[in-house]
Structure 1
Amino acid sequence: MTIFSTLSRLEAENRSFALLQIVESRGSTPRHSACMVVTEGGEVHGTIGGGMLERLAIERARAAVVEGASCLFHGRLARQGENAVGSDCGGAVTVHIAVYPRRPELFLLGAGHVNREVARAAQALDFQVTVADTWQANLEHPELPTACRRVSGKDYAAIVPQLGLDEQSYVVIATNHEDREALTGVIGLPVRYLGLLASRRKAHHFRNVLRKELGMAEQEIARLHAPLGLDIHAETPAEIAISILGELVSLYRGHRVTPQVTPTDGEAQAAACQQEIAVTG
């Protein structure tokens, strides 16, 4: 398999990888022009010359994939001194390590009006989109982009394990009447983003469910974005989709996105009392 067919396969599988290429070579070195691929899982395809030089370059490439940042690797085929790799050949190489992160994966639980708009806009932003629903008719809606992966099941307890959620997953919950089931199935998983389409009142209710009925710690509950999206006073499904994706893009590009916080029961009651005093006083 050639490097190019390997790169094509990795892109189709949406896997992170680094492409290593010798960009400068001086003196006696095993290779003067070569490239290789190192995947997020540690697979290696091709060679830039072998030996300690290649081993150290692979280690740096694996770290670069985790960091999500391209870099240069300098290696001197010497036993001592800066960038020495423990060899006596005497030459030196510079390797460009280009990191290609996987496309962001967006999982939409519920295929109603808002999530259909989110799916349409997300694909234009190069998100890989999975849509899940317990109602098959929603997954067959003509406005749902054809490229979306579709997952169905009798309930969200059956659906969530099929999704393959991990630390790089973005999840948006907007079901017809199964938000609680979807939320409880995902809240304990280490996803990068978890958002619930909800008013402040509804968000407050669900946080209390997590807190009082499920006994979840405040630190876990704090991960929930509800209400979700940027505050742009959105009203229509298309406007709401833009507000959600604005928040996701900001997070994907490395900016901190803090979930909106609804008050606890005591705070809510205190706020209500203060409002009543202000009105009647």
Structure 2
Amino acid sequence: MIIDAHCHVWPDEIARKVLADRPVGLDPVHDGTLDGLRRTMDAAGIDLAMTLAVANVGKNVWRTNQFIGKVDRSRFIPFGTVHPDLSVDENLRALWDNGVVGVKLHPLFQSVAFADVRTREILIALAENDIPVIAHVGSGGDAHQNERGAPKHFHAMLAEVEGLRLVAAHYGGYQVLDEAEQWSVGTDVHLETSWPPSMGTLPQERIRNIIRRHGADRVVYGSDWPMTDPATEIAAIKALGLTAEEERGILGGNLARLLRIDPAATV
């Protein structure tokens, strides 16, 4: 079983507008729609995908979660959005009422900072309600955006939020792998493998060492669709020279365990 932990999707008309602006300076390789993702998954042999939806401002949280909560649960796992401009109760209600099972935090596109007490209060509430989170950690934007998602702040936040099922995207430090190794690798989180434009641009030996230092059983595959091609990213993982057990875990087994998915139910 292969599960992609990192797929951004939007309603069809919004996807065209978002990707026309080339978010974070990358060239998208797919269209950002649910139908487009399904076709990509079928071509790459992916069984399930976490579909991520992010609201840049608080007023859009409800309708964003309403959209993502309606995805086909046989192929998609809906991860929705929260925002520090809303109260903790308002954020939780927007998730529960729309049947959203997890949350994506994105410091580049939201006013979400790991050092912000409001963010920590939301994360504590998510942990108390056993709602899993995937967070962008690292750079990719301007200096202010990068500071919001800095690995050092991510590390400090972890000390105040206990019991959270948390996935740190981009090995815990996009574009700042030295900082990721210092602050994210070895912490009590799952690391995710995406690195646009491709994980294949990273030194294989270094990534293999990071995976084993962190624990291969706590690393999960993600593509960052539509900014990368999932089949290419799967091939990059298979090229690392990991054991068959490590590879199976990263490509799906570890995430299935984290999200409590029964592999037999997806067959």
- For Structure 1 versus Structure 2, the TM-score category normalised by the shorter chain is 0.3 to 0.5
Higher helix share: 2
- TM-score, normalised to structure 1's length? 0.32
Higher RCO (Cα < 8 Å, 6 or more apart)? 2
- Structure with the larger strand share: 1
